[in-house]
Homo-oligomer: A and B are copies of this chain.
Amino acid sequence: PPATPERLGDGLSWALQAAKEAEDVAAVDCSGHGSVFLDGVTGEDGRPGCECNSCFSGPDCSVRIPNCAADGQGGDPLFLEPYWKRHAAASAVVFSGWHRLSYITTDGHLKSVELDRQIRRLHRAVGNAVVDDKYLVFGTGSTHLINALVYALSPEGNAASPPASVVATVPYFAMYKSQTVMFDGREYRWDGTTAAWANNNSSRNPTRGFIEFVTSPNNPDSTLHEPILAGSSAIVDHAYYWPHLTHIPAPADEDVMLFTTSKLSGHAGSRFGWALVRDEKVASRAISYIEESTVGTSRETQLRVLKILKVILANLHGKEDIFAFGYDVMSSRWRRLNAVVSRSTRISLQKMPPQYCTYFNRIKEPSPAYAWVKCEWVEDDDCYETLLAAGINSLTGTVNEAGTRYTRLSLIKTQDDFDMLLERITEFVDAEKHGRAPAASSSM
């Protein structure tokens, strides 16, 4: 290779080809109903094709699939994809082939020192968490940190101490239980719902040896929560505690807090989360877990998240504030959904009043990530099935131990997903006056 590489055009040399490839792929027209990705499946021409949103198909995603069911099931945060398409230049990042080959980044760390700094800057600027007296632990998604923190808060594995009891309040995020049960350490065990133990909870009889999962705002019902069991450890999952998805009454300051890019910037596929931990020993045990499990988190992801956070920080409180963008999308979706469901006696949503938000410095309408749907009619004793019969896929409340009367609808997916969801819900509500489900129904 030439010692001084030939300079082409803009003065670019080795990065030019990759930049062109990325722009070529991004320029493919998918009719606004899909995207092409560099690692998409290649067709006969050797090039990746459009990957279409739900309910669209065809080479350019222009064909709307007839009688397509609305998909309100998953928590895919694609409502922010348009934001990143608008900020293409600022958010792009180029990896050289030799970027961070080593296990080690700066100064012997497994994590990027710059990313640590930017995460702390972001929390300070948004005012949603107190970071100054906390250790920061990175994980491959906050998912990875669920078990890392359970491990870190459990008694050390000598025979004497009984295992910690891991509990959560109904309706809880199902993965707290499924992960605790699957990984099944000798130092901890899933021990059911918090309420079953709360009666023992007095100053005379503190509930030691418990690890209480709290999600705030809660998934699925989007309300703010605090730990219940006195004297126990709590892992407070603040995945949704950002100003586009909730009001922020004050900076959170629990001993152990969880965050993720997934619901902050929409980068779920990056698999990046972090914990803020007050106690040094707990942080150190969680870091040991992550090191032992995966030798830290992907360095590609760390660089990309660094870039994404810089864009977010540069635009806070400005015209292109991601939280203002996200809040507009989500509050509009909630308002439109409520307008339809308010005409129904058959289903209802969680009640959410307007609330003062310290970040926006005003009272805001709600903008929850999920609608928590209750089926009110006696005969609809499986709400998930009731909606499914109307062509609406949701996540049944049984996974949250909330029972079959409840089911969760995701509002954070693509605009196509939301539009389809609203269309099907409207048909469903309109059909009520006929006392039966709409035509799509096959179960009634």
Contacts and interface: CB of A to CB of B under 8 A. Distances in A.
A16 B19 CA distance: 7
Nearest to A413: B102
Interface in A271-288: 271-272, 288
Interface string A28-43: 0000000101111110
A307 B77 CA distance: 26
Nearest to A306: B39
Nearest to A271: B298
A262 to B, nearest CB: 8
Contact of A106 (B41, B139, B306): B41
Contact of A97 (B87, B107, B139): B87
A264 B15 CA distance: 24
Interface string A98-116: 1111111111000011110
A339 interface: no
A23 interface: yes
Contact of A19 (B94, B175, B311): B94
B114 A40 contact: yes
A89 B13 contact: yes
B35 A98 contact: yes
Interface string A250-285: 000000000000000011111110000000000000
A95 interface: yes
A308 B114 CA distance: 26
A10 B20 contact: yes
Contacts of A297: 140, 271, 298
A80 B184 CA distance: 40
A97 B84 contact: yes
Contact of A182 (B11, B184, B288, B295): B288
A84 B147 CA distance: 36
A78 B103 CA distance: 10
A304 interface: yes
B270 A298 contact: yes
Contacts of A271: 140, 294-299
A305 B372 CA distance: 40
Given A42-B114, A96-B92, A98-B81, A15 B22 contact: yes
A289 interface: yes
Contacts of A300: 270, 298, 300-301, 304
Contacts of A151: 182
Interface of A: 1, 5, 8-23, 26, 35, 37-42, 48, 51, 74-78, 80-81, 84-107, 112-115, 139-141, 143-144, 147, 151, 157, 175, 178-179, 182-187, 266-272, 288-289, 292-304, 306-308, 311
